[in-house]
Amino acid sequence: MEFKIPSLLFVLVFALFTLAWHNPGLPPGEFETCLDLPGAPFNYANIQLPAHLRLPNVEDADNTPAGNPVTDAGATLGRVLFYDTRLSANQTIACASCHKHELAFTDEAPLSTGFEGGLTGRNSMSLAMARYYQNGHFFWDERAATLEEQTLMPIQDQTEMGLSLEELESRLANTEYYPPLFEDAFDSPEITSNKVALALSQFVRSMVSYQSRYDQARQTAPPGPPGAAPWPDFTPEENLGKALFFDPNRGNCAACHGTEAFIAPGPRNNGLDLVSEDEGLGGVNGNPQDIGLFKVPSLRNVELTAPYMHDGRFEQLSEVIDHYDNGVQPHPNLSPQLRANGPNGPPRRLNLSPAERQALVAFLETLTDESFLADERWADPFCETMVSTTTPVRQDNWVVFPNPATDWVHLRLDLPSDQEYQLFLFNANGQLLKEYTFTGKQFSLQRDGLPAGLYHLLLISEQGQWRKPLVIQ
């Protein structure tokens, strides 16, 4: 069933502290949070992937269950849930607080901060390519058997979001915007935590990164496995890094970070420590051979997912390369791909030259996907709007000219010149685009690429606040 969004904009009033959080420095109550969704849902279900991401070794690793395929409406609901702070007990934290779009859905901290300031036990994980982890288990120690099971765990986690499923359901049911989104996704407006799990999982599985420089160069390269020959669209350094990455006798990275998803089918030990303080998978299943085994993360967008490893111990990729070059520890469960002289041998040493180390980093950086990071499909759907119920005050003590404007807009104020003014620019939907602070009786702002259309200016001073429409031609 299609749900028609009347104005593309749901307006919902949040508690004042939420406003203050979104808008530090603004007088509370001037803004409402709104939801800016496309009239027809974005395409999540049929993303056109390049041929190398449709190879059998990638497609066969897809952990999407038959009962929860990605749909456009389901992933749209998942997107709203993912960015909604209502999912945490005190409404301060969303999934996106620890999984940031601009950082390929991880965060910059070794350990992440939960809703009451507590720290998580491990480093946040990048979510791109989560769907291609073949055994379908989630978390560093694989304690979640499926993604559908995983997605409700952070919500209930006492450090992360601290919300019970009953409270979750009643909170979402008490909004204007969720019942129609659930109806759209699941043909009934009834809100259950199971549907929350399904929708969040769809959104996470939709996060496929496929437009990096690696992908572009791959498509113009001669056919064959990626490690075989230099690619015309790579620099010599990137080609050297690529060769090292795929060569079984050198970097051998692809033996674990494999397929074009750069991910393993299951957990491994990469010799970070001689003795595992964090037992990883072994700590979950009690199996001694699994102590120190952790999920092998996809390396797509790895340039942005620092700090690295389950405990965030490495700040830079160069430190990771040093680890694989000469730092691998003889852990009893060290995976054979990192041993010399057979499956029980000592840790291998790569003896990479400085140029080779740099080349490996240069190759890893080709996996950064700017399109994925800028794609609205995965961006925050929440916006801010002016409260529409207040009547604008008419006044003549400030002039905006020229109006209609082309390149520059000037303000002249017949107001005290010794105080600070805040100026806000909104689009016709009431979405906040820019804010400025100035003193004096004049101010000018540049068009700065804004498309032609109707805008609103809001001027705030100690005396009060005033709005004016602005037309840009």
Q: In whole angstroms, what is the distance from residue 226 CA to residue 202 CA?
A: 30
Please tell me whether residue 378 binds ligand HEC under the rule CB under 6 A.
no
Q: Which residues pair with 410 in a beta bridge?
A: 401, 444
Please tell me whether residue 195 binds ligand HEC under the rule CB under 6 A.
no
Token duo for residue 402: 């020229």
How deeply is 274 buried, as exposed, middle or buried, from its count of CB atoms within 10 A (0-12, 13-18, 19+)? exposed
Please tell me whether residue 101 binds ligand HEC under the rule CB under 6 A.
no
CB of 155 to ligand HEC, least distance (A): 5
Q: In whole angstroms, what is the distance from residue 151 CA to residue 161 CA?
A: 12
The window from 24-32, 67-75, 92-100, 210-218 that contacts ligand HEC (CB under 6 A) reads: 92-100
CA triple 159-163-169, angle to 5 deg: 155
CB of 398 to ligand HEC, least distance (A): 43
Q: How far is CA 397 from CA 201, 390, 393, 464, in A?
A: 53, 20, 11, 12
Q: In whole angstroms, what is the distance from residue 216 CA to residue 66 CA?
A: 31
Q: Is the dihedral of CA 237, 239, 245, 247 positive or negative?
A: negative
User: Which of 85, 97, 259, 333 lies at the binding interface for ligand HEC (CB under 6 A)?
Assistant: 97
The window from 138-146, 180-188, 223-231, 442-450 that contacts ligand HEC (CB under 6 A) reads: 138-146
If binding means CB under 6 A, how many residues of this protein chain bind ligand HEC?
54
Q: In whole angstroms, what is the distance from residue 258 CA to residue 137 CA?
A: 17
- Number of separate helices (H) and strands (E) present in the chain: 15, 10
Q: How far apart are the first and last CA of the chain?
A: 39
Q: Which amino acid is at 323?
A: H
Q: Which is nearer to ligand HEC, 124 or 385 (CB)?
A: 124
Token duo for residue 134: 């073949």
Please tell me whether residue 131 binds ligand HEC under the rule CB under 6 A.
no
CB of 458 to ligand HEC, least distance (A): 33
| Three-class secondary structure of residue 349 per DSSP | coil
The window from 332-340, 378-386, 404-412, 424-432 that contacts ligand HEC (CB under 6 A) reads: 332-340
| 251 CB neighbour count, 10 Å cutoff | 25
User: Which of 112, 333, 368, 385 lies at the binding interface for ligand HEC (CB under 6 A)?
Assistant: 112
The window from 222-230, 250-258, 445-453, 460-468 that contacts ligand HEC (CB under 6 A) reads: 250-258
Question: How many Å is the Cα radius of gyration of the chain?
Answer: 26
Q: Which is nearer to ligand HEC, 215 or 325 (CB)?
A: 325
The window from 1-9, 23-31, 134-142, 216-224 that contacts ligand HEC (CB under 6 A) reads: 134-142
Sheet containing 31-36: order of strands: 9-12, 31-36, 382-386
Q: What crossing angle do the helices spanning 178-186 and 72-82 adopt, rounded to 10°? A: 150
Please tell me whether residue 130 binds ligand HEC under the rule CB under 6 A.
yes
Please tell me whether residue 154 binds ligand HEC under the rule CB under 6 A.
yes
CB of 139 to ligand HEC, least distance (A): 3
Please tell me whether residue 386 binds ligand HEC under the rule CB under 6 A.
no
User: Which of 185, 296, 386, 460 lies at the binding interface for ligand HEC (CB under 6 A)?
Assistant: 296
Q: How far is CA 417 from CA 32, 439, 442, in A?
A: 30, 6, 9
User: Which of 35, 155, 172, 411 lies at the binding interface for ligand HEC (CB under 6 A)?
Assistant: 155
Please tell me whether residue 382 binds ligand HEC under the rule CB under 6 A.
no
Please tell me whether residue 251 binds ligand HEC under the rule CB under 6 A.
yes
Q: Which is nearer to ligand HEC, 95 or 362 (CB)?
A: 95
Token duo for residue 344: 């029980």
- Quick check: 304 and 148 in contact, CB under 8 A? no
Binding to ligand HEC, residues 209-248 (CB under 6 A): none
User: Which of 127, 191, 291, 362 lies at the binding interface for ligand HEC (CB under 6 A)?
Assistant: 127
Please tell me whether residue 74 binds ligand HEC under the rule CB under 6 A.
no
Q: Which is nearer to ligand HEC, 34 or 320 (CB)?
A: 320
Please tell me whether residue 98 binds ligand HEC under the rule CB under 6 A.
yes
Binding to ligand HEC, residues 357-376 (CB under 6 A): 360
Indicate the length of the chain as a whole number.
473
The window from 23-31, 213-221, 334-342, 431-439 that contacts ligand HEC (CB under 6 A) reads: 334-342
Please tell me whether residue 138 binds ligand HEC under the rule CB under 6 A.
yes
Q: In whole angstroms, what is the distance from residue 425 CA to residue 434 CA?
A: 5
Q: In whole angstroms, what is the distance from residue 461 CA to residue 187 CA?
A: 49
Binding residues for ligand HEC, rule: CB under 6 A, are 87, 93, 95, 97-99, 112, 114, 120-122, 124-127, 130, 138-141, 147, 150-151, 154-155, 160-161, 200, 204, 251-253, 255-257, 268, 270, 272, 294-297, 299, 302, 305, 308-310, 320, 324, 335, 337-338, 360
